[in-house]
Amino acid sequence: MVDKKGRLAGVFTDGDFRRHIAHDAAGLKTVLARVMTPRPITIHPEALAVEALRIFQQRQIDDLIVVDKSKHPVGIVDSQDLPKFKIM
């Protein structure tokens, strides 16, 4: 989700789904802004793959949103991408 200026405002992850909706079908009618992760962990496009790996391991997350200097989302890195590039 982005704000009116196109800056990252939050994400709705598989973890958010499992925590809020999978156990309660009524949650399917919940506004995403109420159940999303409001301040997701991000990385900059200039970061090295090893930095993404460190974040994945330290934070125990599977996805990183790539944001530019203005906090506009420009991509995503999935932890499953790294083995494809023989990073891990």
Confidence at residue 49, expressed as pLDDT on a 0 to 100 scale: 87
Pairing of strands 73-78, 42-43: unpaired
As a whole number of angstroms, the distance between CA 2 and CA 70 comes to: 12
Q: The domain that contains 75 carries what CATH number?
A: 3.10.580.10
> What is the tally of structural domains in the chain?
1
Share of the chain above pLDDT 70, in %: 95
Mean pLDDT on 49-68: 93
Whole-structure pTM value: 0.80
28, with CB counted inside 10 A (0-12, 13-18, 19+), is exposed
Convert the pLDDT of each residue in 14-52 to its tens digit.
888 888 777 777 777 888 888 899 999 999 999 998 899
In a domain, 74, yes or no: yes
H helix intervals, 11-61: 14-20, 32-35, 49-59
Residue 8 lies in a domain: no
pLDDT for res 25: 72
Q: In the predicted model, what is the mean pLDDT of residues 60-80?
A: 94
